[in-house]
Chain A
Amino acid sequence: MPDGQFLPPMEMTAIEKHMKARVEAAFPERRMTVGRSAVLTKPHNGRAACHYCGTCERGCSTRSFFSAVSVSLPDAMATGNLTLRSGAIVHSIIHDPKTNRATGVRVIDAETREMTEYHARLVFLCASALGTTQIMLNSTSRTFPDGIANSSGVLGRYLMDHHMGINASGFTDDFDDRFYNVRRPNGIYIPRFRNLDKASRRSDYVRGFAYQGSSWRAGPGRGAWMPGIGADFKHSLRDPGPWEMQLWGYGECLPNYDNHCRLSETETDPWGIPQLVVSAAWGDNEKAMRKDCAACAAEMLETAGFRDVSVSDDIETNPPGLAIHEMGTARMGRDPRTSVLNAYNQAHDVPNLFVTDGACMTSSAVQNPSITYMALTARAVDYAVRTNP
């Protein structure tokens, strides 16, 4: 996992620093770092540093964490070149067989259900892997009876997500004099260390897994699960509880033709658009990897000297999708017969159509993918504007 140029890191807790030292001494190939988070730790380009309120998902008035609403869309708006329309459900892409170009999109108004057409010389699909694929599959014509830019037939195929639900936990009583920033919007990360070279090669699976994790001391709410009653018990809950360290495994998923989405032939949504049928399941490689992932998590927590180490592998309650890293259904490739996009996210079949969300991915890796999608998007825009297809 390559480095980058970073703002100052957030601080690891006392037990995270302790675990990092123990694990890296025992397993030199396993590195532990504080998470790399799209949250500012000092003012940057007019955006304020994080004020550690701890609930990023409720919105951030200080623009300290990156979101499209707080950062990229305002940048676009400031140019005077942006028109933004919400409640606009894209039904399909319009294709002109004479010029073999996407000439625009058909849009259904979410409220009035009125259909409108918009036209442009470039079309970028950034509607999420499945959203984009649904639109493409629904864009049928005499040229593309199975969906626009789908001469290969692989549109909708090779759906991937990261597999998760391997959770490990351990406790320690050795740092009861230490406290921490309870609202750090970040955790720790242990990058992939399997199948990277000869020494780390596994015979039971390919690719690898990584861990996110975090540590904390239990708060007063722990009383709900503890035996006790009365004033003394209540007062004892005012003190911080024991330290707990958790690791959460995330694994790479192989591209598999059978894992796919397609349009329903019978069911439509309230706007008359065929519903998406999704069909995906974890394969043998994912299942084999999970065993090693669970074992390594326990091994590292034990190496750190934590007590009551436990690991759970909840594959049943973590079907594909829940990692929210779905990808791969309009994949890139060199051969137009087996892929939808070229290496610039440009449709092989329709040169002014670009797909830059997760649909473009050919393999899932194990890293959280958003930054890669954004980089691919910026790169594809640069290419599209330069070559003006």
Chain B
Amino acid sequence: MSTQPNAPALHVRKPFDAIVVGSGMTGGMAAKELCEKGLKTLVLDRGVAFEHGTSFVTEHKPAWELPRHGRVPIEEQKTEQAIQSKVYLYDEATKHLFVNDREQPYVQEKSFDWIRANQVGGRSLMWARQVYRLGAHDFRANQEDGHGVIGLSAMTMLPHGTIMWSAT
């Protein structure tokens, strides 16, 4: 897989068939589906380049090969990743997968922990991999109790139990 972090800024470009913004859980799936249907597709991600295999720099590393045995100094957490460090799997081996909160600020009018990925592939690298389908009562919920609008509720339930595995 090749990425082009430094693609030259051309002033005249041939248009693509499709542009996908984001390359994580849904962007990756949009890219796969669009490309397999023959559309010339541009995927844009604000994060750093990240490739299968070569980018897995801490994979299988035992604690004694990590400079701080997996820990991240409290001071560094506070100044660089005050929000990201609240995630249960944040440690020395995974901190590079999360954005730097100081460099990518947002405003919390009320407390909101915005957990963001730092690379191509997005949060699909750090998810907990739990996959549960929504049931008929979930699609009907707004209609039945009056909270929110009716979205997919009256439509056919999504037959997507196997999508994780059909995506080779």
Interface on A for B, CB 8 Å cutoff? 1-7, 35-40, 44-47, 53, 55-61, 63, 65-77, 79, 81-90, 104-105, 107, 109-112, 114, 116-128, 130-132, 135, 158, 185-186, 189, 191, 196, 206-207, 210, 212, 252, 254-255, 264, 267, 269-270, 275-281, 319-322, 324, 326, 331-335, 338-339, 343, 356-357, 360-363, 365-368, 370-382, 384-385
10 CB-based A-B contacts, threshold 8 Å: A1-B133, A58-B56, A67-B121, A71-B167, A86-B47, A88-B46, A278-B110, A331-B151, A367-B132, A370-B124
Is the CB–CB distance between A84 and B1 below 8 Å? yes
Q: Is B20 an interface residue (CB 8 A)?
A: yes
Distance (Å) between the CB of B68 and the closest chain A CB? Answer: 16
Q: Is B21 an interface residue (CB 8 A)?
A: yes
Are A132 and B21 also in contact (CB < 8 A) when A2-B133, A73-B120, A275-B106 are? yes
Are A319 and B111 also in contact (CB < 8 A) when A73-B1, A267-B105 are? yes
Are A196 and B137 also in contact (CB < 8 A) when A36-B131, A61-B53, A76-B32 are? yes
Interface mask (B19-41 → A, CB under 8 Å = 1, otherwise 0)? 11111111111111111111111
Is the CB–CB distance between B1 and A118 below 8 Å? no
Residue of B nearest to A88 (CB): B44
Q: For A35, what are the chain B residues with a Cβ–Cβ distance below 8 Å?
A: 130
Q: Is B73 an interface residue (CB 8 A)?
A: no
Is the CB–CB distance between B160 and A84 below 8 Å? no
Q: For B58, what are the chain A residues with a Cβ–Cβ distance below 8 Å?
A: 58-59
- A252–B145 CA distance with the chains assembled, in angstroms: 14
Q: Is B103 an interface residue (CB 8 A)?
A: yes
Is the CB–CB distance between B36 and A75 below 8 Å? yes
- Interface of B, secondary structure class, is loop
Q: For A326, what are the chain B residues with a Cβ–Cβ distance below 8 Å?
A: 114
Interface mask (B63-104 → A, CB under 8 Å = 1, otherwise 0)? 000000000000000000000001101000110010000011
Q: For A60, what are the chain B residues with a Cβ–Cβ distance below 8 Å?
A: 56, 59
Are A120 and B16 also in contact (CB < 8 A) when A75-B36, A76-B36, A87-B48 are? yes
Is the CB–CB distance between B43 and A85 below 8 Å? yes
Is the CB–CB distance between B142 and A277 below 8 Å? no
- A81–B37 CA distance with the chains assembled, in angstroms: 9
Distance (Å) between the CB of A137 and the closest chain B CB? Answer: 13
Q: Which 4 pairs from chain A and chain B are nearest by CB?
A: A4-B161, A59-B56, A68-B28, A362-B151
Are A69 and B125 also in contact (CB < 8 A) when A57-B89, A81-B35, A126-B30 are? yes
Cβ contact of A81, chosen from B38, B105, B129, B147, cutoff 8 A: B38
Cβ contact of B151, chosen from A45, A191, A361, A367, cutoff 8 A: A361
Interface on B for A, CB 8 Å cutoff? 1-7, 9-10, 13, 15-53, 55-56, 58-61, 86-87, 89, 93-94, 97, 103-116, 119-138, 141-142, 145, 147-153, 155, 157-158, 160-168
- A268–B25 CA distance with the chains assembled, in angstroms: 27
Q: For A158, what are the chain B residues with a Cβ–Cβ distance below 8 Å?
A: 148
Q: For A127, what are the chain B residues with a Cβ–Cβ distance below 8 Å?
A: 21-22, 27, 46
Are A57 and B94 also in contact (CB < 8 A) when A324-B115, A381-B30 are? yes
Residue of B nearest to A127 (CB): B22
- A4–B42 CA distance with the chains assembled, in angstroms: 32
Distance (Å) between the CB of B153 and the closest chain A CB? Answer: 8
Q: For B161, what are the chain A residues with a Cβ–Cβ distance below 8 Å?
A: 2-6
Is the CB–CB distance between B17 and A277 below 8 Å? no
Distance (Å) between the CB of B113 and the closest chain A CB? Answer: 4
Distance (Å) between the CB of A72 and the closest chain B CB? Answer: 4
Q: Which of A79, A196, A321, A370 has the most CB of B within 10 A?
A: A370
- A128–B22 CA distance with the chains assembled, in angstroms: 8
- A204–B40 CA distance with the chains assembled, in angstroms: 52
Is the CB–CB distance between B113 and A319 below 8 Å? yes
Residue of B nearest to A154 (CB): B149
Cβ contact of A124, chosen from B34, B60, B86, B127, cutoff 8 A: B34
Q: For B163, what are the chain A residues with a Cβ–Cβ distance below 8 Å?
A: 371, 374-375, 378
Residue of B nearest to A109 (CB): B9
- A372–B113 CA distance with the chains assembled, in angstroms: 22
Q: A1-B133, A128-B116, A264-B107 are in contact. List 16 more A-B contacts (CB 8 A).
A: A82-B31, A87-B5, A87-B48, A88-B44, A118-B13, A126-B20, A189-B132, A332-B151, A334-B150, A335-B149, A362-B148, A367-B138, A371-B131, A376-B158, A381-B37, A385-B37
Is the CB–CB distance between B34 and A46 below 8 Å? no
Cβ contact of A85, chosen from B10, B34, B44, cutoff 8 A: B44
Are A118 and B141 also in contact (CB < 8 A) when A72-B167, A371-B163 are? no
Residue of A nearest to B136 (CB): A2
- A88–B105 CA distance with the chains assembled, in angstroms: 17
Is the CB–CB distance between B59 and A124 below 8 Å? no
Cβ contact of B23, chosen from A40, A68, A117, A335, cutoff 8 A: A68
Is the CB–CB distance between B151 and A333 below 8 Å? yes
Is the CB–CB distance between B61 and A118 below 8 Å? no
